[in-house]
């Protein structure tokens, strides 16, 4: 049973969803409201018909028809490529995707829908089976019972057997020559007997090819060997020309050894001269150091006196700062005493003889 139908970008439908109930469902609407397009969309999803892009909406977008049944969710899409999708209503399994199915419907989709062309009646069709002839009715029920498939399969098998018999043929019999594959096989055997010598010739040919390959390989090595012989001869002549130089090898080796020894002696002499010069310089430094060591005790006393002088200077500076601070403090004290006397005199001059607060007479007045 179809539970719902969703149509997207199919002819006049942009996004339409129809929920069906059990029993008979009726789709009502005015003309050109998309009722026929609903049936076309359903047939397109079930039968993969019609093909082409005429079913797509003029505003574009992916064309999609989705059918929800108790057994699964069937989705037919058309955009850059055609595809069928078979989904699980419970969402426990991933969708199965079918592509490159041509004009047929994938078997998984057909078995899930379980709806064929005989289950759908077009809008302008006559009443079901009433106006049909007995032969058309019988053909219809044969199609429902799948008997037509058996008849078609039987006819196909008989046709294949007939073609196979003609292709295989038979041997010659009285008044009839052999034909088909049997005759071709006999002719091939007769032809092979004529070329029986070719097997031995093939072996000889393989031997000749191997010898030709070996000869070719030797031929490729000849220029290399010729060049090598020329190089050997040229090297021998060069050795003869330089044989006089070989006699001078031992004397030249002795001379080179003596030159190397002289260089080594010269290097050692230079190192010895530098060492003597460094020894003299070190001795002069030691003599200078001895004269400095004599002055070590007086210098130590002077350093101690210098440190004592620095300590006394620091103490003297501290004492001078203390005296200066004492003088500043004495000056400030005198300034405070003078200021106090001035304030006292101002108070005495301005305060009345009788206190306005306590009524007592002033004792001293300056």
Question: What does the pLDDT look like over 111-133, one tens digit per residue?
Answer: 899 887 767 776 666 666 666 77
Confidence label for 147 from pLDDT (cuts 50, 70 and 90)? low
The H or E element that residue 13 is part of is strand 13-19
Q: Which comes out higher in pLDDT, residue 199 or 100?
A: 100
Of 153-162, 201-210, 279-288, 311-320, which range is least confident? 153-162
pLDDT at residue 179 greater than cutoff 70:
no
All structural domains of the chain with their residue ranges: 2-125, 126-169+180-188, 197-243, 248-294, 311-366
Please tell me the class of the 2-125 domain. Answer: alpha beta
Q: 88 in helix, strand or coil? A: coil
List pLDDT tens digits, range 3-54: 999 999 999 999 999 999 998 999 998 988 899 899 999 999 999 988 888 8
Residue 219 pLDDT more than 60? yes
DSSP state letter for 152: H
List, for residues 293-309, the tens digit of each pLDDT value.
777 777 777 788 888 88
Cα 93 from Cα 86, distance rounded (Å): 10
pTM of this structure? 0.40
CA distance 67 to 18: 10
pLDDT bucket at 352, cuts 50 / 70 / 90: confident
How far are the Cα atoms of 38, 42, 176 from residue 12, in angstroms, in the given order?
A: 10, 14, 70
pLDDT band of 365, cuts 50, 70, 90: very low
Segment (H or E) for 87: strand 82-87
Strand partners, 361: 354
**What is the separation of C-alpha 178 from the centre of its chain, rounded to a whole number of angstroms?**
68
């Amino acid at each position: 049973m179809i539970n719902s139908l969703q149509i997207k970008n199919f002819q006049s439908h942009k996004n339409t969803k129809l929920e069906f109930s059990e029993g008979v469902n009726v789709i009502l609407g005015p003309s050109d409201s998309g009722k026929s397009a609903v049936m076309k969309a359903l047939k397109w999803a079930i039968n993969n018909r019609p093909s082409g892009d005429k079913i797509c909406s003029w505003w574009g977008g992916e064309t999609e028809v989705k059918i929800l049944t108790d057994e699964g969710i069937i989705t037919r899409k058309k955009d850059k490529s055609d595809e069928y999708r078979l989904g699980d209503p419970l969402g426990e399994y991933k969708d199965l995707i079918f592509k490159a199915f041509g004009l047929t419907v994938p078997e998984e989709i057909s078995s899930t829908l379980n709806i064929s062309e005989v289950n759908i009646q077009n809008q302008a069709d006559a009443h079901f089976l009433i106006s049909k002839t007995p032969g058309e009715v019988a053909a219809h029920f044969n199609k429902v019972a799948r008997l037509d498939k058996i008849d078609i399969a039987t006819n196909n098998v008989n046709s294949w057997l007939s073609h196979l018999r003609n292709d295989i043929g038979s041997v010659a019999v009285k008044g009839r020559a052999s034909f088909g594959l049997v005759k071709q096989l006999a002719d091939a055997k007769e032809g092979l007997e004529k070329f029986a010598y070719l097997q031995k010739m093939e072996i000889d040919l393989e031997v000749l090819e191997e010898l030709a390959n070996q000869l070719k390989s030797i031929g490729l090595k000849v220029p290399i060997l010729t060049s090598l012989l020329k190089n050997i001869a040229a090297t021998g002549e060069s050795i003869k020309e330089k044989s006089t130089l070989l006699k001078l090898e031992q004397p030249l080796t002795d001379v080179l050894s003596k030159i190397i020894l002289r260089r080594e002696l010269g290097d050692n002499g230079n190192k010895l001269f530098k060492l003597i010069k460094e020894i003299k310089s070190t001795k002069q430094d030691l003599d200078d150091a001895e004269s400095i060591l004599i002055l070590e005790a007086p210098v130590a006393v002077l350093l101690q006196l210098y440190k004592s002088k620095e300590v006394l200077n620091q103490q003297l500076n501290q004492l001078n700062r203390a005296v200066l601070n004492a003088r500043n403090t004495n000056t400030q004290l005198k300034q405070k005493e003078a200021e106090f006397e001035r304030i006292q005199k101002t108070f005495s001059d301005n305060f009345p003889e009788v206190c306005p607060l306590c009524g007592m007479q002033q004792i001293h007045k300056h």
